[in-house]
Chains A and B, each alone.
Chain A
Amino acid sequence: MRLRCALPLAVVLGSIAPIHAQDQGFAQSQSFLKTYCQACHIGKTPAGGFHLERVDKPSSLAAEAVKWASMARRVHNGEMPPKGAPKPTVDELEQFSQWTTQALRTEACAGGIKPGPAPIRRLNRDEYSATIRDLLDIHLDIGSALPADGGGGEGFDNAAETLFLSPIHSEKYMEAAKFATDFAAKEFKSRQKLLIAKPGPGVTEQQAARKILESFLPRAFRQPVTAGDVSLYLSLFEAARKQGRDYEEAVFFAVRGALVSPKFLFRVEQPNRTAVVQPVSDYQLASRLSYFLWGSMPDELLLDAAAAGKLREPAVLKALVARMLRNDRSLGFAQRFIEQWLGTRDLMGTKKPDTKLYPMFDNDEELRSDIRLQPVLFFRELLMQNLPVLDLIDSTHTIGTRNLAKLYEVKLPVPRDSANQPHWMELPPNSNRGGILGMPAIMAVSSYPYRTSPVLRGAWILDAMLGTPPPPPPPNVPALEEAKAGAPNRTMRERLAEHRANAVCASCHSRMDGLGFALENYDVIGRWRTEDAGKLIDNSGDLGPVHFKGSGELRKVLLDRKDLFVRNLTNKMLGYALGRGLTLQDSCTVDAIVDQVRNNGYRAQALVEAIVLSVPFRYQAPLPVAKPPAAPAVPSKLVAVNRPPKQIEKE
């Protein structure tokens, strides 16, 4: 049981154990499998249909990579060996899963860096809003009527895999398209942008409408269109005229049609039908760039660069990245990326501090907005000023406003009349406010709404910052008890110590809690405190053999693990940029990006540049030949529906 909690110690400590020579490591992995798995996974009917001979040769690391990865995961998560079977020790388990992960990475990268899949994906709610805004030049958050999108892949709501469509979307898209075109028809700026031709002497209505669509459709579909596309939407214009709509109404009707076209609603790339890796087209690269850094369609400059075939030059791309980051639209990128990566989007929802205990959060809209935007603006400042991303761990500056300065109990060195605006401000020495740790937003989303939790904060650091989430708790683990009425006031540390006395919990909690304790000086909304439950706060923490006191020393400990942090940030941003979950293949790209970022002093723009210049971002894999599962038909009467669990287990 104990092992279910185990975390790869070496990974957490950042002191990656020396990787054994491939063959020596392989021999050890085989001996691990023989000891703990052989009892069930050999013979004519091996358990789960999995026979160890599938993984008994070094070549299987390439041929059976998926199987290997799944073995490492299941062993690491304590799913295997099953209950009742002899369990490996923590060290054995960690060595096995870590060696496997590394060996698979090495194997995957042996064939060079590959682009990976680029599935078509629907514009998510934010992208839809922003695209309609930019396309029609109207200022409406029109997507707010759509259902919110979930998230997948690396945890973002732009992941292709989880952007599905429901019947409600079809209704909302139709309504939104009508609303947007009706609105645009009355706006001077939109009309000017759209109605570039007029019927008149020598110009028939049809010719004018065609001209309008020839200019509008490539922008709406974000790539050149065919004569067939134009005819199709022109036919909507003609049909509307036949139905008695006037000329302009008919033009806007055709525009409305384009706004519900899959070519508008989805980001579609021409598939690579050759047998080798190809660069994506210039227009597609323009879209990839603009949805990455702006969350919207490419602007004229980008489209012009695409038309001129200039986007493939690295120097042009680098200059573009700098220009795009300076543009106001990159604030949306900073917000979407930071709030989803760090989880601060939940600040207004499930992680909202308790109304009664923290009334200021409910009552003071300005404070609430300052708290929410602080990490976003901080990150954007790193991008704009091209500061090291390690400043997220610790920095000499922060984003301050009048409200935040009050919360921090520091003086804000800005003129009073603009003190409610966010400022990039230098912190006093030893302020305990450098980087994201200690920011109210971060402290709130890693707490319960009504109290702090060293466990949640420790798990938050392991997951969000270091990318090494703790394994799931074993079943039947009790949660931490609340302070009972009448019971003597005990500090969180005392209460957690009882928890950690349980051997099942100790193996993980010693790691989570040890990190979280160092942040105990921050309350739920990030205010500094020195007492909890009437007792002085003991902010000493530990991580393995390393002991430290308070958030300042914790920051140093995290800086010692900067490679883990940068790798995790790279994973997240690459996943966001590609709009999909990363695969084993992508780990080679990540390695290369991390090297470049390190060689450039960890500069924020170096990270964005390296992603934009990476193979998966600029290239396209050949279309896979594998067939996807057929979309199931509506089951008719008297059929069996859904596979029973026993059948699934066998597969």
Chain B
Amino acid sequence: MKNRLNLSRRSVLRGAGVALGLPWLEAMHATPVNAATGASINPVRMAMLYMPNGVNVPAWTPKGKGRDFELSPTLEPLAALKDRVTLFSNLWNEGAKSGDGHYVKEAAILTCTTIKKTQGADLANGISVDQLAAQRIAGQTPLPSLELGVTPVAIGVDAVVGYTRVYGSHIAWANPQTPLAREINPRSVYERLFRAASGTPVDAARMDALLLDRVLGDAKQLRGQVGTADRIRIDEYLSVMRGLEERVQRAGSGQKSTWKPKATLDPKGAPVEKPKDHAEHVRLMMDMIAVAFQTDTTRVATFMFGNSVSNISFRWLEGVSAGHHDVSHHQKEEDKLRQYHLINRWHVAQYAYLLGRLAEMKEGESTVLDNSMVMFASALSDGNSHNPHNLPIILGGRAGGRIQSGQHIVSAEDSPLANLYVSMLDAFGTPVERFADSTGPLAGLLA
């Protein structure tokens, strides 16, 4: 009916042709060096990967603790990275203990607060830890953060439990009222990274800056005309447009930017727009995070393997015959538990793939993985009972040496997950005194 035309396809990469696959990166730049100490200065990156529906707990739980631990069957794909990851036991998010089985837990996985039950009118969560970090280093990279996924935002309201599905589709929240929209088209992500990293030509940037300046003026005038309740929306507009204006102004000033890409993207390397299946889609998104981190186009990323209560069919995975959420309600049946484990392990394998990619990316003496914190998390332990205790959490990388990886940290029962976030924010260089119900940094994590 409509003459569909995707904008991005025609934009920067006109005629780029089909995906060329890896590698996407060209020339490497020398790593900046601290003049006084001679040590390389590498920025710390933070990524959060979220898996819906919890885990098969016995298959997940690693044996042993501290440095003396064994990977479990589900965690087996991490074998080659054992000394680069940190495993956690007994963390939870107390704010999500009641409410409902999914939304209240999953929307708050990075905010550690209690979401308000609503069909949308008074959305309330907290600011998520990734966004807090991104806002605190705003302007240091071309993009403030990346929000990625593979399934479109879930539609409508879950009338049974009374929550808008907006909660179940977003883990990154700029503020308690505003979740961040996700990009699910890998090609668009690549083009966005490319554009952001290569910058707008000075002349075009000047025009854009001019245009934004007038439009922001229009918005300010409008703000004075609307009622107080509506000002929130205009403020949202002002905030995102100002963010863009600042970036455009930097580009349009013609001055050499202090930011330099740490690697250059191949303009011909854009991946496919519609991956052939779920597995390829996830892989491409992992690649996008890796590329974004290596080029230093952004230092903060979140990724959702699926929305809350995701029932994506995993029948394509050897040994699995049902959908994800379905299998997670396993009733302690052996066969379903086995399938549950297989689905969990597949997710861990994708995570391991990302860590592997980052580990291959040299950054002076270190690697991008060494300078990153890549979290893998589910907001439930056993999905069958929607259990919020002892959440399955892994952290990959060393945050530039701040994190003592290669251990299984077993905290006291029901320790706040927020403590981990306090430590991560510290390692990221954006410390906070408290985050939600945190009681301090997570013992044993930071060097």
Interface residues in chain A, defined as those with a beta carbon under 8 Å from any beta carbon in chain B: 73, 77, 117, 119-122, 129, 139-142, 144-145, 147-157, 159, 161-162, 164-172, 174-176, 179, 228-229, 232-233, 235-236, 239-240, 243, 253, 256-257, 260-263, 265-266, 268, 270-271, 340, 343, 345-346, 349-350, 354, 356, 448-450, 459, 463, 469-472, 475-479, 481-482, 484, 580-581, 623-624, 626-629, 631-632, 634-635, 637-646, 648-649
Contact = CB atoms under 8 A, between A and B. Distances in A.
A119 B230 contact: yes
B119 A635 contact: no
A613 B123 CA distance: 30
Given A145-B188, A164-B177, A243 B207 contact: yes
A97 to B, nearest CB: 14
A141 B114 contact: no
Contact of A639 (B3, B234, B335, B433): B433
Interface in B94-149: 94-97, 100-101, 111-114, 118-123, 126-127, 132, 135-136, 138, 143-144, 147
B154 interface: yes
A167 B243 contact: yes
A558 B445 CA distance: 60
Nearest to A265: B237
A479 B170 CA distance: 26
A274 to B, nearest CB: 13
B169 A150 contact: yes
Given A150-B154, A162-B120, A261 B215 contact: yes
B229 A628 contact: yes
Interface in B134-172: 135-136, 138, 143-144, 147, 151-157, 159-162, 164-166, 169-170
B8 to A, nearest CB: 6
B219 interface: yes
A210 to B, nearest CB: 16
A632 B127 CA distance: 9
B178 A640 contact: no
A349 B35 CA distance: 54
Given A147-B153, A154-B119, A482-B336, 16 more contacts: A147-B181, A147-B182, A155-B119, A166-B147, A167-B143, A257-B211, A263-B222, A271-B230, A479-B329, A634-B136, A634-B138, A638-B431, A640-B435, A641-B434, A645-B97, A648-B113
**For the complex of A and B, 8 pairs with smallest distance between CB atoms:** A152-B120, A645-B95, A642-B126, A479-B329, A155-B156, A147-B181, A478-B331, A161-B120
Which of A229, A256, A482 is most buried by chain B, counting CB atoms within 10 A of its CB?
A: A482
B427 to A, nearest CB: 15
Given A174-B208, A268-B226, A634-B136, A169 B181 contact: yes
Contact of A179 (B11, B111, B151, B164): B11
B222 A628 contact: no
Interface residues of B, number: 120
B7 A144 contact: yes
Contacts of A268: 222, 225-226, 230
Which of B144, B151, B160, B218 is most buried by chain A, counting CB atoms within 10 A of its CB?
A: B218
A504 to B, nearest CB: 13
B65 interface: no
A170 B120 CA distance: 22
Nearest to B100: A472
Interface of chain A, main secondary structure: loop
A481 B331 contact: yes
A263 B230 CA distance: 13
23 contacts: A73-B162, A150-B155, A153-B119, A161-B123, A164-B181, A166-B240, A170-B241, A171-B244, A260-B212, A263-B218, A343-B155, A350-B312, A475-B385, A476-B384, A478-B329, A479-B329, A623-B228, A631-B177, A634-B136, A637-B432, A638-B431, A638-B432, A648-B113
Interface string B169-211: 1100011111111110000100010000000000100111011
A390 to B, nearest CB: 22
Nearest to B382: A476
A478 B327 CA distance: 11
A62 B330 CA distance: 47
B159 A463 contact: yes
Contact of A122 (B179, B231, B233): B233
A174 B207 CA distance: 12
B235 interface: yes
B92 to A, nearest CB: 11
B214 interface: yes
Given A164-B177, A648-B95, A153 B120 contact: yes
B431 A141 contact: no
Contacts of B34: none
B348 interface: no
A334 to B, nearest CB: 13
B326 interface: yes
A152 B236 contact: no
A531 B18 CA distance: 47
B126 A152 contact: no
Contacts of A168: 147, 180-181, 183, 192
A142 to B, nearest CB: 6
Interface string B228-261: 1111111111011101100000000000000000
B315 interface: yes
Which of B11, B211, B236 is most buried by chain A, counting CB atoms within 10 A of its CB?
A: B211
A145 B310 contact: no
Which of A161, A354, A649 is most buried by chain B, counting CB atoms within 10 A of its CB?
A: A161
Contacts of B59: none
Nearest to B101: A475
Given A448-B323, A449-B313, A151 B156 contact: yes
Contact of B166 (A162, A631, A632, A641): A162
A642 B217 CA distance: 32
Interface in B411-447: 430-437
Given A151-B164, A152-B119, A152-B120, A354 B315 contact: yes
